[in-house]
A and B are shown apart, each in its own frame.
Chain A
Amino acid sequence: MATVSLKNLVKNYGNLEVVHSIDLEVEDREFIALVGPSGCGKSTSLRMIAGLENISGGEIRIGDRVVNDLPPRQRNISMVFQSYALYPHMTVAENMGFSLKIAGRPKSEIEAAVAEAARTLSLENLLERRPSQLSGGQRQRVAMGRAIVRNPDVFLFDEPLSNLDAKLRMQMRTEIKKLHAKVQSTVIYVTHDQVEAMTLSDRIVIMRDGHIEQVGTPEEVFKRPQTRFVAGFIGSPTMNLREATVDDGKLAFDNGDTLPLPPQFRSAVTAGQKVVFGLRPDDLYPAGHGLHSGEAHDVHTISVPVSITEPLGNETLVFAEFAGEDWIARMLNPRDLHPGKKIDLSFDLSQAHLFDAGTEKILRS
């Protein structure tokens, strides 16, 4: 068990800098997720922690050791790859015991460790099979078993569930969570799936273009995104984000439509300032079909036409046209809505987010 600390970590490929001086402190036994779109540098950062990529600058510490130039085998880490990377010429048991065999441990110890890991992951009946005889989910479990057997300081996961179908992914997500509860080790988990990040991790690191945008608990990044990018990245369906101009206590959109300026932002903006107004679909709903009710919420209702609807059973996503664009609203206890029909759409302005259009940073309420 160990902490992981990144200080001014940089990665260049020739003249191209792909990770720009990032800092991150991972606590002992913490489950931390690195998320971001493709090419944001999250996998590269993980591979630098693993020692599979050289670092171009900065410092990586695992526990109290600086591991900058140590080869992977001396970092006492385990890694689960997106492709599973099981050794096809070895059985499941040999795959799982490989690290101990290389370390020259006695056969009895290897067998005991493999049996223990197999029990944890329900792989007892598969130990003599080869990877080619396993299903995707089983292969993924073997890959995790191989990681556990090593008893590492830090587990690294590189998009481990991306190759699984949706149902299996959910199942394995639960297993990973249970596993972490059981083995209680530090985990760094790379994913592009924000749902995985939200459900699994203690803290989420959101990366973009080689920078860290925000680090926080799932609740923090969801409720208090610090940048426009985080606001748009976290949450499904995504937050409605629209550019507007502050004008005399109102937010004026490009086509002339307006919304009242949420009172909590009055002191944070100046007249004429270009801002980005953000509202989650949960806080935008056909009147009477919302998540919230009560006096504490500052609700503004406007009559707008429906563009399309996406019924999901217990709720319906309503795309309604306002300010020249479709806004996504979440309708609880849904009733039939037809495109073109006008509805009263409620904006819960007390939940609104406001970002500066230039810096894309949050404006403090």
Chain B
Amino acid sequence: MDENAAHRLKSGLLKAGHLIGLFLAMAIICLPGLWIVLSSLRPTVEIMAKPPVWIPQQISFDAYIAMFSGVGQGGIPVLEYFRNSIVISVTSTVIALAVGMAGGYAFARYRFSFKSSIFLGFMLTRTVPGIALSLPLFFVYAKLGIIDTHFGLILAYVALNVPFTIWLIDGFFRQVPRDLAEAAQIDGCTRWQAFWQVEFPLARPGIASAGIFAFLISWNEFALASQLTRSTNSKTLPVGLLDYTAEFTIDWRGMCALAVVMIIPALTLTFIVQKHLVSGLTSGAVKG
């Protein structure tokens, strides 16, 4: 075998190894999701079986039917939970994005005193685990009388998401050359128009990704929601999962079915928004 053939073989093997590695990594990432979907479709005996049953013997949608069949017939108020989750997640995401855009723009474009300290301060708030805040937050909310309200959770999630959205959007505005906004101003724009006509469209991938992350964090958040909600007035889907636990039993199939119901909107949203995540949109703006 000559030298070239040996190298060809080696690069072929490397490529195969690379693909196998990727497949394994993806399998590990996707397996829990797949397991949830499978578990929502089969009886508890099969879910709890040891060794695990990979291919379901029989598939039934009983858990989904039961979920929507109302309280008393094995159902839970899923529509109310869903509504609460949507209202809270969407509102908190919109607010976090608005504040994040204003803040990110300010950090990217303006000079002001204590800029880096403030930025660092924002980042530090992210180092505190949400659960550590739940008790103090509970006391404050109890005093204010906003426990078990949409407002209370929206407030908590905005506070949770704003540092993150500012940080992410700041990075994207930094990538938009300053010259572009100046050129727009010379072309007749006000500062405000220059932002919406030129800088915003170019930072959109960043704003979209910040939006997805903020939405997912609010949508999936459990620790705070479980403390700050009480009833169908404000309970979100992750808290609703607890409805499937009783004193001595856990309805794994029902829980998995609700988890699937939770995953679908998040997955759909991510899918819709991902087309805005095209990076490299600013190429060609300036020399490069």
Contact = CB atoms under 8 A, between A and B. Distances in A.
B279 to A, nearest CB: 12
Contact of B186 (A79, A134, A139): A79
Interface stretch (A83-91, A174-182, A211-219): A83-91
B287 A163 contact: yes
Among B187, B190, B287, residue most surrounded by chain A Cβ atoms (within 10 Å): B187
Interface string A241-282: 000000000000000000000000000000000000000000
Contact of B185 (A72, A87, A133): A72
A72 B183 CA distance: 9
B4 interface: no
Interface in A72-108: 72-73, 77-79, 81-89, 98-99, 102-103
Contact of B188 (A83, A85, A99, A163): A99
Of the four ranges (under 10, 10 to 19, 20 to 34, 35 or more), the interface on chain B belongs to 20 to 34
Nearest to B282: A88
A139 to B, nearest CB: 7
B60 interface: no
Interface of B: 177, 179-180, 182-191, 193, 197-198, 201-202, 281-287
A136 interface: yes
A79 B179 CA distance: 11
Interface residues of A, number: 32
17 contacts: A50-B186, A73-B187, A79-B182, A84-B287, A85-B177, A87-B183, A87-B198, A87-B285, A88-B202, A88-B283, A98-B197, A99-B188, A102-B197, A130-B284, A133-B284, A139-B284, A150-B187
B177 A86 contact: no
Nearest to B179: A85
A50 B179 CA distance: 13
Contact of B201 (A82, A85, A89, A163): A89
Given A83-B179, A88-B202, A139-B284, 10 more contacts: A50-B186, A73-B189, A78-B186, A81-B286, A83-B177, A84-B287, A85-B180, A85-B286, A86-B284, A102-B187
A127 to B, nearest CB: 15
A22 B64 CA distance: 79
Contacts of B188: 73, 99, 102-103, 150
Contacts of A77: 186
B190 A52 contact: no
A353 interface: no
